[in-house]
């Protein structure tokens, strides 16, 4: 069974607190969907601000926080859709290694979205070689969390103002800037609700059917 928690415009800082609590203090399986957040910059646990962020004005009203998991640094706002899975090992019947978890997630989203050109490249979900979602994981013995940040749309000006070119990038990015490297979900769906309904339908299918071994 998967417990579905839905939020609309929950601050990403609050979402991360909920996720950490459920990962560490529960044995149940969860999917958390959050459609948007107030603007924030979220760094992976090992990322240093001076290496990932530009020296923007401290007068900017934006939260800067670190999540408890790995991954890169992202700018999020009202056009970011967050989908997180918190599962026990026995539910998915996979080995808890990052690559295995990402391959399972790729299969889940391919079945759910049915978007031509959607696939996993390195640790990103892409559509036709352009990034549409970033991912981060935390593995705890027999439980894990995978959180994905999907771009319904994105604000190039804000990204260019806040984020430096990452010190470490996936090889498929090459030297592409944000405009050349990113794509959005809104090209493929009329409204956010259409995307969300597909995700929720696949979650229901997953709850009712034994997951395949990956």
pLDDT in 10s for each residue of the chain, 214 residues: 999 999 999 999 999 999 999 999 999 999 999 999 999 999 999 999 999 999 876 667 899 999 999 999 999 999 999 999 999 998 988 899 999 999 999 999 999 999 999 999 999 999 999 999 999 999 998 999 999 999 999 999 999 999 999 888 899 999 999 999 999 999 999 999 999 999 999 999 998 775 544 4
Paired with 66 in beta bridges are 43
Q: Give the integer Cα–Cα distance in Å for 148 and 85.
A: 9
Q: Give the integer Cα–Cα distance in Å for 183 and 57.
A: 27
DSSP 2: E
pLDDT at 212: 47
pLDDT at 209: 73
Longest dimension (CA), the chain: 51
Could you tell me how far CA 97 lies from the centroid of its own chain?
17
CATH of region 2-208:
3.30.930.10
H-only helix segments in 12-52: 12-25, 49-52
| Of the candidates 2, 17, 12, 151, the residue with the CA atom closest to the CA atom of residue 86 | 2
pLDDT at 55: 84
Q: Give the integer Cα–Cα distance in Å for 128 and 94.
A: 28
pLDDT at 138: 97
* 152 within 8 A of 32, measured Cβ to Cβ: no
Domain ranges in the chain? 2-208
* 53 within 8 A of 41, measured Cβ to Cβ: yes
Paired with 174 in beta bridges are none
Place of tokens 């929720």: 200
pLDDT at 59: 67
Decide: pTM greater than 0.85: yes
pLDDT at 168: 86
């Amino acid at each position: 069974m998967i417990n579905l928690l839905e939020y609309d415009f929950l601050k990403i800082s609050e979402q991360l607190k909920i996720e950490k609590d459920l990962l560490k203090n529960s044995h149940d399986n969860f999917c958390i969907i959050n459609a948007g957040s107030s603007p924030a910059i979220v760094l992976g646990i090992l990322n240093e601000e001076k290496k990932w962020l530009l020296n923007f004005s401290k007068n900017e009203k934006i939260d800067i926080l670190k999540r408890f998991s790995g991954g890169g640094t992202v700018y999020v706002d009202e056009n970011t859709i967050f989908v997180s899975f918190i599962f026990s090992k026995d539910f998915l019947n996979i080995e808890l290694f990052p690559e295995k978890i990402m391959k399972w997630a790729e299969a889940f989203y391919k079945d759910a979205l049915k978007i031509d050109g959607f696939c996993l490249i390195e640790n990103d979900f892409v559509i036709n070689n352009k990034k549409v979602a970033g991912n981060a994981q935390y593995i705890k013995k027999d439980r894990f969390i995978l959180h994905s940040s999907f771009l319904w749309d994105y604000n190039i000006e804000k990204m260019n103002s806040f984020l430096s070119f990452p010190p470490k990038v996936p090889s498929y990015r090459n030297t592409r800037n944000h405009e050349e490297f990113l794509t959005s979900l809104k090209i493929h769906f009329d409204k956010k609700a259409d995307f969300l309904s597909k995700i929720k339908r696949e979650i229901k299918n997953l709850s009712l059917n034994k997951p395949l071994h990956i």
